[in-house]
Structure 1
């Protein structure tokens, strides 16, 4: 009985009670609504697990080269704001963790990339200020002091921020004639993750703004992945 109880508790962590009953009591393994829920939960958890390391290759590449060459700092900041808006809006809206959990891990890694880009540009003081301002911003957004209406507005602006941030990186790549320290693995994982998020957002939240945001994100990530592949044989010009 202890094993059954433990198993049931584990399954109920991912699935609602009625889906547990359909799968493991009635043995109705072809229940379409519950299959969709199971796929969505599985993808959501997979995205969150992947997000823990998704930008690690980018961070390691910067550390190894001791340079943030080719990485647009403004693009990093805009992406960080977009990620943080999704994080705070989802928390305030009471969405399940599997629907937005990667935002937390992506934010931590993005702030790290921003700090490293500033640090290796000889701007240690600016890096410290950057971290301090972001910490204050997130404390304010998550504290409940900000209205859900304002957070919804920030979320609606995500599409604009994502497009601008990615376009700035795309333009920087075109001007440089290479992609510098951009990590192919990182952007490929972001591309695949945003594709999966379209489905999980439809299933878990039904929020049209979040769904549209991930559709736009998928398109933009695809462009950068294509650029990295195109410039993979081009070596950066040394001044």
Structure 2
């Protein structure tokens, strides 16, 4: 008898034949080992999806509004550094391209955000020079960086990501507005932080890396809260004026 497309998809990407039978034949939906496997697979797919599209809504919002107001260039540069570190690590260690190629999408999107911030500030030439300089530095680091430099960058990437969120949250607070910050991008990054916490707990248990991911998720919650609060206060202000 031919296998149904749904069953084939689930067995190929999310679970083994044994787990499929436990869930859909024996109707044992609380089978813990199988639930753990399915959750791990789902989290892995989510992290990959987030890597591909997380910053795209932010790029589109800036271009649609023709403004990058409220976005901290320092925060974006720190975020770019945090994303670049794993790429440099993979390049320096000659990992196969398929193992890290999807990270290039986030890297390119974040670099474009940095360029757009400079462009809409009237510094288009600086933006182009930034892209050129960044490309050159990435090539040099990936090709010639020493093992000590690569390891240090990899170890500092999560710290840089946390710092970028602190700076953006501080900028929002100072401005009393989130400006052109994309709520979709912030939500996707927050969801990815939760997925990374799960992966970190599975791999290393309670470690400093796990704590850093928890802190990153908490800061993403703060950014989401700011988006909600400032948008609500802005809407209330408009209604009062009308």
Bin for the TM-score computed over the shorter chain: 0.7 to 0.9
For 1:192, the equivalent position in structure 2 comes to: 191
Identify the residue that residue 218 of structure 2 maps to in structure 1.
219
TM-score for both structures, normalised by structure 1: 0.77
Q: Deviations over 1:78-112 (max 9, x none)?
A: 011011113333564969978x7764332121111
Do the aligned residues in 1 keep the contact of 2:59 with 2:113 (CA within 8 Å)? yes
Structure 1: runs of 5+ lacking an equivalent: none
Q: Identify if the C-alpha distance between structure 1 residues 225 and 150 changes in structure 2 by more than 3 Å, giving closer, same or farther.
A: same
Alpha carbons 2:11, 2:17 under 8 Å: kept: no
* 1:150 paired to 2:149: yes
In 1, Cα distance between the equivalents of 2:174 and 2:138?
34
Select between 170-179 and 148-157 the one with higher mean Cα deviation.
148-157
Q: 1:22 to 1:139 in 2, by over 3 A?
A: farther
Task: Give, in angstroms, the shift of residue 213 of structure 1.
Answer: 3.6
Tell me whether 1:127 sits opposite 2:106 in the alignment: no
**In 2, Cα distance between the equivalents of 1:112 and 1:233?**
29
Name 2:240's counterpart in structure 1: none
State whether residues 93 and 148 of structure 1, in contact with CA within 8 Å, keep that contact through their aligned partners in structure 2.
no
Question: Hey, what's the Cα distance between the residues in 1 that align with 2:155 and 2:206?
Answer: 11
* 8 Å CA contact 2:88, 2:141 repeated in 1: yes
Cross-structure match for 2:112: 112
210-219 vs 31-40, greater mean Cα deviation: 31-40
What count of residue pairs does the alignment treat as equivalent? 227
- Name the residue aligned to 2:76: 76
- How far apart are the structure 1 equivalents of 2:108 and 2:217? 21
SS in 2 for 1:157: helix
SS of structure 2 residue aligned to 1:126 = helix
The TM-score with structure 2 as length reference comes to 0.76
- Structure 2 unpaired stretches of 5+: 238-242
Question: 2-side partners of 1:53 and 1:110: how far apart?
Answer: 11
1:98-147 CA-partner distances (Å, limit 9, x unpaired): 8x77643321211111111111111111111111122122223333x334
Instruction: Give the drift of 1:163.
Output: 3.0
Larger Rg: 2
Q: Distance in 1 between matches of 2:70 and 2:79?
A: 16
Which stretch of structure 1 is more off in the superposition, 186-195 or 43-52? 43-52
CA spacing shift, 1:159–1:95, aligned 2, 3 Å: farther
Which stretch shows the higher mean deviation, 80-89 or 220-229? 80-89
